[in-house]
């Protein structure tokens, strides 16, 4: 399929946790979400509006890359992602998502920890909102953020997926 200039290209990717939708353009991966996520329509609308383009099914080198990297992640072969990312968000969200990417594989941090990294421990709720608006799940690992008491909470893909992802990363890391 020919790539037209300036469009967003989408591909459905099957994973052990259910189907995901990946969207990319020449800047990088824009969205990676489970297709059953309730916020999917809102996220697609945000992408179309902010990038002034439509989302169409198609092929793109970044979609090929995320398909292979997800296969490696789920098989435990390689948990690291090196695909170019082009998240769409406010300056605060982009800073929060950068902090998420600093959380080591198989480890967790609290919302309070993230707020402190952003300069204000009282920003826990804002951090929670930014994490909830992350459109690049797994790759920008919001699943690694938990409550200060160690309990799981707040994962748009479902808490069962959050638990699975954390258990998977810990198991692969302990096997190395």
Rounded to whole angstroms, the Cα distance separating 155 from 161 reads 8
Q: Report how far residue 111's alpha carbon sits from residue 99's, in angstroms, rounded to the nearest whole number.
A: 11
142 a catalytic residue: yes
Q: Which of 127, 136, 138, 142 is catalytic?
A: 142
Q: How far apart are CA 78 and CA 169, in angstroms?
A: 10
Residues 6+ apart with CB under 8 A from 111: 124, 127, 128, 131, 145, 147, 148
Inter-axis angle of helices 124-132 and 91-101, to 10 degrees? 80
Q: Which residues have a catalytic role annotated?
A: 142
């Amino acid at each position: 399929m020919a790539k037209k200039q300036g469009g967003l290209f989408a591909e459905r990717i099957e994973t052990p946790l259910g189907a995901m939708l990946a969207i990319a353009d020449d800047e990088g991966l824009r969205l990676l979400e489970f297709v059953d996520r309730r916020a999917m329509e809102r996220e697609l609308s945000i992408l179309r509006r902010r990038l002034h383009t439509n989302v169409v099914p198609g092929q793109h080198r970044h979609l090929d890359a995320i398909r292979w990297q997800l296969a490696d992640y789920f098989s435990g072969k390689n948990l690291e992602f090196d695909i170019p990312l082009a998240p769409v968000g406010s300056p605060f969200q982009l800073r929060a998502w950068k902090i998420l990417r600093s959380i080591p594989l198989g480890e967790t941090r609290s919302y309070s920890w993230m707020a402190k990294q952003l300069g204000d421990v009282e920003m826990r709720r804002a951090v929670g909102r930014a994490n909830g608006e992350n459109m690049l799940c797994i790759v920008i690992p919001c699943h690694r953020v938990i409550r200060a008491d160690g309990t799981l909470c707040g994962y748009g893909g479902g808490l069962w997926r959050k638990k699975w992802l954390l258990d998977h990363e810990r198991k692969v890391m302990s096997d190395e």
